[in-house]
Amino acid sequence: MRVLLLDKNHPLITEQLSGKNFILEEDFTSSYDEVCRKIENYDGVIIRSRIPLDRNFLQKAKNLKFIARVGAGMENIDIPVADKLGIKLINSPEGNRDSVAEHVVGMLLILMNRLFIASQEVKNGIWLREENRGDELLGKTVGLIGYGNMGKATAKRLSGFGCKVIFYDILRDLSDEFAEQVSLEELKEKAEVLSLHIPLTDETHYLINDNFISEMKNDFYFINTARGKNVETKSLVGALKSGKVKGACLDVLEYEKSSFENLETENEDLKYLLESEKAIVTPHIAGWTVQSKEKLAQVIVDKIIAQFG
């Protein structure tokens, strides 16, 4: 099988698939149009996020048997068209669930204990103790929306901090030793910390908006390591200003490019998030550890070999 790699990934992908007689070609620079002109020559494609695999692309990929996304989200692929054309879709959320979970906990601890602020103050000769009094995770009720790979890994970590973890998911009967499944209404009633672990779909676009925030009974901390467009930024900023949201940990932003490589918009809401002590912002790196790079690649290779090797 001829396979086109459109993004740089761990070299084990090329090494192991070549060892199984796949023919690998790397192309990390060609434009969308250039790739479209040659995609009919390939049986498989391995991607991250550089190029959208939309209807036009997929219709030109006349011999494509699989698309493998090194990562979890599949929003850059026209899934209904791929399904109609019989193209197998493969992703690897198992590969970076641990790094995402650790990132969630890390951001939350930094925010709630003012660690970054206090460190910067001391480095600038400012020694404030009462002003930097922290807030403990112990005993808090954490609400997760989405209980797949990322949600479960996050619940496992937070349960170790003595949190009560509850979650809402569209699938049923997912409760385990780390978290209890509840209705969305109950989650809004009880959660003191809210973390998103959902894909970007028509149903989850702007899920967190003025209406959702107003229905939360408690003032709460908010974490998003899912997708930026799950959140309406102006609503979040308004809630931070009012105190309804006590602080926000954001690894993803509404204004990211579809490739996740940079921001495509600058406005007053973004400016507030970047300047506010109530917000921690990181550049879409929650799933981006040394270990996850290798694990993501290995999961993809194993799945490709299992189905097409």
Annotated catalytic residue 227: yes
Annotated catalytic residue 50: no
Exactly one of 227, 232, 254, 277 is catalytic; which is it? Answer: 227
Exactly one of 256, 266, 268, 277 is catalytic; which is it? Answer: 256
Annotated catalytic residue 256: yes
Exactly one of 10, 97, 103, 284 is catalytic; which is it? Answer: 284
CA-angle at 285, arms to 303 and 120, nearest 5°:
160
Annotated active-site positions, please? 227, 256, 284
